Chain A
Amino acid sequence: MRAPLSWLRDFAPIDGDVDALVASLDDLGLMVEGVERVGEGLGDVVVARVLEVGSIEGADRIRRVLVEAGGDPLEIVCGAFNFGAGDLVPLAPVGTVLPDGTEIGRRKMRGVTSNGMLCSGRELALSDDGEGLLVLTGVAGVEAGAPIVDALGIEPDVVFDITVEGNRPDAWCMAGVARDLAARLGLPFSLPEPKVRSAGPAVASLASAAVEAPDMCPRLTVRVIESVAVGASPALIARRLTMAGMRPINNVVDASNYVMLELGQPTHPYDLDRLGAPGLLVRRARPGEALTTLDGVERTLGYPGRGLGETGEDCIICDAAGVPVGIGGIFGGASSEISESTTRVLLEAAYFDPMVIARTSKSQRLRTEASARFERGCDPLGIDRATDRFCELLAQSSRDAVVAQGTLDVRGELPEPITITLRTEAVNGLLGTGLDTAQIAGLLGPIGFGCEASGDEALAVAVPSNRPDVRPAPHGIADLAEEVARIYGYSRIARSQPTWAEPGGLTERQRMRRRVREALVGLGATEVWTSSLVDEGDDATVGVVARPIGIANPMAQDQGWLRRTQMAGMLRALSRNRDRRQGAVRLFEVGVVFSEPTPGRSSGERSGPGGAQEAFLPTEGELASVLLAAEGDDARVAVAALEAVADELRLSGLKVRPPEGGEALPGLHPTRSARVLSGAVQVGTLGEIDPAVAEAFGLEGRLGWLELDLGLVVEGGVVPRREERTRPISRFPSSDIDLALAVDDAIPADEVGDVLRAAGGDLLESVTLFDVYRGPGVDPGRRSLAFRLRFCAPDRTLTDHEVGALRAVCLEAAERQVGAVLR
C-alpha cells in the first residue's frame, strides 16, 4: 500500500525525520518496501493549453505541438499521443530541472525547435504512469499558465510503500497506518467525523435492499444520492489517489476509492437508473450464471472447483429484480457503471464473510483492491462512517447532490463482539517481559482496544470491530500479546536463551546418511542434487516400468511426475558435464524417491478438513545412488564402492548376486549387474549402466552404478553390523597359503570364500581372492579362483605342520561343500 505522509497527517500530527518514521513503521510490522519523495522540484512546471497538434514530415513517433501557457504560443516537439487540441497538460519550459535531474534545453528535432517538454506523471514523479502525458483537462480549478504546484495543490510529500500483513486488515488504510504510528510515537489520533446533510426523500422510497444469503453477506447497506453531477474530482482527491497508486476516474468512483484507501471499507457506486429494478439483492450464484464485469470480461459463476473448499458457492449482487450486477465484494458489473450521464448514485457498502470472498477470488482468479480487503476481514461496524464519508466527499465535488434520508441496512449475524480477560502474568509469561497492568493498558488503548481493570493484575479487553484477527480466548491472549509486543517494540524485549536437560543429537539414520556421504566422497565422488520432479518418460527410459505418481498441476510437462529412481537425473547430470568437458567423474546423490501408497495399508495419516479422513501417502524411499564414470570405472569399481560403503557403515554379510532368472535389473547392463542382498532382502543393485540406456542420454563407455536403499541398509535391523568389540592383534608372525580352486561358474566366489573362512576357524585371519582364471587347464563351465589364506595364532607362531593341517581342512571343506577342485 502506498501511503502519502500528508494523508497520514490528517489523522495524527506525525512529524519528524523520514528515516526514523520508516524505522518505526518497520518495527510496527508495517514493512516499508520503499520511500518516494514527490512534488519536489516542480516549481518551474506550468499548466499549458494545447492549441494545435501537427505532424512532422518524415517522423511518425513525434509530433509538433503548439501550446499556450500564459504568454506567447510555444512550439514543442512531443512523443506522446494521448491528448489533443484543447487539453490542459504540464509543460516544463526551457531551463527546468525535473525531479530526476533532467535539465530541459532548447532542442531541434527534424527541423522543428522544441521550446520545452510536455510531461507525463512519471516524469514529474507524480505517478507511475509514463505511457502518456499527465492530462489535466477537467481537473477542477486548473487553468493554463498556472504553476502546476498551485493548480494541483502539490506540496512536497513522502510516499511510503508499505506491506501490510494478511492479519492486519485494519492497517490496510491511511487511518490504520496513522493509528499504529500515533500509538508508537505517543501522538493523539482521530478519525474523520463526516458531516452529511440529508435532505432528499427517504431512501426506502428510491431503492430496496434484500439479502437471500445472510451467511455470505451478513450486512448490506444501501444509500442513494440524487442530483449528482459526474465530473473530475477536486485536485486534492485526484492527487492523493494518484500518489496512492490509483488512477482518478470521476468524482463518484474516486470518492469510493478514496474512502476505501482512507478507512479500509470498500464501497461500490451504481448508476441507480441503469439498474433493471431499483435496489439490490444479494444471493448465491446459480451454477453457470454469467456476468460481465467492469473490465469487459464475461465471468461464469457457481461451479465447484477441484480444490479443497472450492464449493462453487459464489456470492453475487443483483438488482432488485434478481439480475446480476456484480460479484459480491470482488468486482462490479459493467451494466450499471457510473458514467458521465449518471445523476442518481446508489452506494452499496457491505460486510462479507471473508472465506466466501477468498474462495470466489481464488476460483475466478480475480483479485481486486476490494476483494483483498474483504477476504482479510473488514470492519462490519465501520460501514456507516465510510458511507457518510462518501456522501460528504461527493457533496463537496458535486455541490447540488442531495443525499436521500436514511440507510437501508439489512443485518444478519455479525461477528460477536469479543471481550478477553487478559491476565498481566499471561502476557509477561508469553513475552518474557515485566510489564505491569497499566503499561499493558497504555499500549493497547491507543490502537483501539478498550481496557478495563478486571480484578487484580488483569484487564477486560474489548476487541474493536476492525480487528477480526483477534480471536476469543485462549487464542486471543496470544493475539493481544502480539499487539502489546508490537507497540512496545519487539527489539525492546530482553533476549534469553532457554536451557533443558535433554541432549541434542542426530538419529541413527542421520548419522549413517552422513557416513555414506563420507565414504562416497572418499571414493572421489561429488554429490549432485537432481530434481524430484521429472518427465513422465524419464523413469521408463531407465527401465522402471511402473508409472510414476503424477502432479495434478505441474509447472511444466517435464516436471510433472515424482521420480521413482535417481538414475535418469544423474545420467543427465553426467551428460551435461561431459558436454562441458568434465567427463571423467563420479557422482552421487542421496535423496527421496516416490512410489504408490502401499495398497490396503493405511498409513494412518490425517487428511482433509478437520483431519478426519484417512489418507494414503506415497511411499517414500531414500536412496543413495552412485554413478561411476571416471577413467577405467566399470562394474568392478561399483563392487569396490559397495565394499567401501559397507566398511564405513560396518555392514556385514552383504552379498552380490546376479539377478534372478537372468531378468535384467532396471537400467542396468544385463550381464554386468547384480543385486545387493542381505539374507533374502534386496537392499540395492549395482553393475554397469545398460549401454542402450547410456546411449539414450548421449553417453558412451562403461559406467559403473551402485544404488542402496538407505532405509533398508541402516534401519530395522535388516543388515547386520560388524561387531564393535575389537580383537587383540597377534604379536606372532602369520603364514600365507594360496589355494587355486576350480569351481563351478554357478557358485559365487564369495560363497567359496565363506566356506574357507568357516573351515579355517579362529586361526584364519583373512581370506582374499587374488586371481580369477578361465581357460586351458580348467574345465569349461568352471573357473579357477585363487585365494590367499592368512593364518595366525594369538599366542604362538604356527608350525608348518599346523598350517599344513589347516590347509587340508579348508581344502577338504571346499571340495566337499562347493565341489572345488584343487589345481
Chain B
Amino acid sequence: MSGAVPLDLAALESATERALRAAETTAELAEAETSALGKRSALAGAHRSLGALDEEDRRRVGRELHELRGRMEALAAELRRGLHERERAAALEADRLDLTEVVLGDLRSPIARGRTHPVTQTRDALEDVFVAMGFKVAEGPEAETDWYNFEALNMPPSHPARGMYDTFFLELGEPETIVLRTHTSPVQIRLMEAAVREGTLPIHAVAPGRCFRRDTADASHLPVFHQVEGLVVDRGITFGDLAGTIEAFTAAYFGPEVHSRLRPSYFPFTEPSAEYDITCTICLGAGCRTCSNTGWLELGGSGMVDPAVFLACGIDPEEWSGFAFGFGIDRCAQMRHQIPDMRALVENDLRFLRQF
C-alpha cells in the first residue's frame, strides 16, 4: 500500500456527502456520521494513509483532508438541525388536542370547582364592604328570648308593632318567651349589653344572620331568610352620619351609579327612623316595572338608636348616640342577580346554584 494509489478526494467527499444526506432521521444521521466520519470511515482511512506520502504531499493532502472533514461535519450539523426540527414538528402534531372538544365529564374532580351559595356570596361581599369601612362582624343566636327580640327593642308585650313580625314560638317552658328571631336586631342588644359589661364602648359592627317569620313563601318572601344589621354607638354620631354611611355602603356594594335616599318611617327601636331606598338597579332611576316607575327600590330600615333601647342596655343616651340599619341579604342577592322568584334560593337545584 505504498502511496501508489492516489487519494481521490473528490470521490471521497461526494461519497461521504451522499452517505450523510441519505439519513432520514436523526438516529440514521448519527449512524451515517459514525460510518462516514468515524474511526472506521474511509475518511479516517485516508488520514491514516497520509503517512505513506512524502512530506510535501502529506502536508497538502492533510490540509485538504482536514478541510474536507470540516465541511462534512458542518453538513452533518446542518442536516441534524433540519431533521430534529422535522421530528419535533411530527411529535407535536401527534400530540395535538382540540380544546373545543374537551369532554369535561370525563375528567375527575376536583378539576371542577363547586360553588358557595349565592346567599353566602352576597353575605361575604357585604361583610367585606363593611369590614373595609371599619365595621366588625358580629353574630347572635337564631333562637332568642322575648327580651332580646322584642322588649329591649322597645316593644313590650302587646305592643302593636309586634304585629309587624309574625313570630314562631318554641315549645320550651313558659309560653312564647323563646322565639325564632324575627330580625337580626336582637344582636344590637347583645352587642350593647356586652360592651357595657366589658367596658368596650364604642361599637361599630354589622351582624348578618338567619331570621324567621311566619310568612307564606312567595316570589319575594321566605319564612326563613337572612338579614344584615348595622350598629354604630359612639360619641357625636348623627343622622347625617347614618345617611352618609348608607350612601357609602350603597355605592361600594351596588356601584357608583346607585344612590340612596332616606324617607321618614317608624321602627320602635329607632328615632328618628327612616326607610331607605336605593336607585333601581334595573333602570338606574329612569323608571321601570320593577320599581313601579319610581326609580327607587326599598332596601331596608334604619334610624338613630332610640333612647329607650339605650336605657334598656344601660347606656346613657346623653353621652352616647348611635345609628342602626338593617336589610335583607337574600333581597340584595335577588336584586343583584335579578332572580325572579326568591324560592329558587332554597330549592337547591344545581342548575340554579351553578350560575353563581
Interface residues of A (CB under 8 A from B): 26-29, 31, 165-168, 306-310, 354-355, 358-359, 362, 375-376, 429-433, 471, 474-475, 477-479, 481-482, 485-486, 490-491, 493-500, 502-507, 509-510, 514, 517, 520-533, 549-555, 559, 562, 573, 576-577, 580, 582, 585-588, 590-592, 594, 597, 605-611, 613, 615-618, 620, 630, 632
Contacts and interface: CB of A to CB of B under 8 A. Distances in A.
14 contacts: A307-B169, A308-B177, A358-B163, A478-B306, A479-B271, A490-B261, A490-B274, A495-B244, A505-B131, A523-B109, A527-B114, A529-B117, A608-B151, A618-B178
A481 B270 CA distance: 12
Contacts of B244: 495-498
Given A306-B175, A494-B240, A552-B169, A29 B264 contact: yes
B115 interface: yes
Contacts of A477: 307
B219 to A, nearest CB: 17
Contacts of A503: 134
A471 B117 CA distance: 45
Interface in B87-120: 108-117, 119-120
B308 interface: yes
Nearest to A597: B172
A168 B273 CA distance: 12
A617 B141 contact: yes
Contact of A431 (B174, B238, B247, B348): B238
Given A496-B238, A527-B117, A166 B264 contact: no
Nearest to B243: A495
Contacts of A354: 160
A507 B110 CA distance: 29
A358 B306 contact: no
Contacts of A588: 114
Given A430-B238, A517-B120, A582-B349, 14 more contacts: A166-B161, A166-B266, A355-B158, A358-B159, A475-B308, A478-B304, A497-B245, A510-B127, A524-B110, A524-B113, A533-B224, A577-B350, A607-B147, A613-B174
A484 to B, nearest CB: 9
B239 A307 contact: no
Q: Interface residues of B: mostly helix, strand, loop or mixed?
A: mixed
Contact of B232 (A493, A498, A611): A498
B204 interface: yes
A802 to B, nearest CB: 39
Given A474-B307, A554-B168, A594-B143, A528 B117 contact: yes
A576 to B, nearest CB: 7
Contacts of B8: none
A376 B212 CA distance: 26
A308 B266 contact: no
Contacts of B145: 605-608, 611, 615, 617
Contact of A526 (B114, B144, B261): B114
Interface string B116-145: 110110001001001111111111011111
B345 interface: yes
Interface in B265-283: 265-266, 271-275
B204 A432 contact: no
B300 interface: no
B345 A551 contact: no
Contacts of A522: 110, 113-114
Interface in B136-184: 136-139, 141-148, 151-152, 156-161, 163-164, 168-178, 180
Interface of B: 108-117, 119-120, 124, 127, 130-139, 141-148, 151-152, 156-161, 163-164, 168-178, 180, 202, 204, 210, 212, 214, 216, 223-224, 232, 234, 236-241, 243-245, 247-248, 261-266, 271-275, 304, 306-308, 312, 317-318, 321, 345-351, 353-354
A580 B349 contact: yes
Nearest to A485: B272
A549 B109 contact: no
Nearest to A525: B114
Given A479-B271, A491-B261, A526-B353, A496 B142 contact: no
A496 B241 contact: yes
* Residue among A376, A500, A529, A615 with the highest chain B CB neighbour number at 10 A: A529
Contacts of A432: 238-241
Contact of A532 (B148, B160, B212): B212
Contact of A551 (B144, B151, B169, B261): B169
A521 B173 contact: no
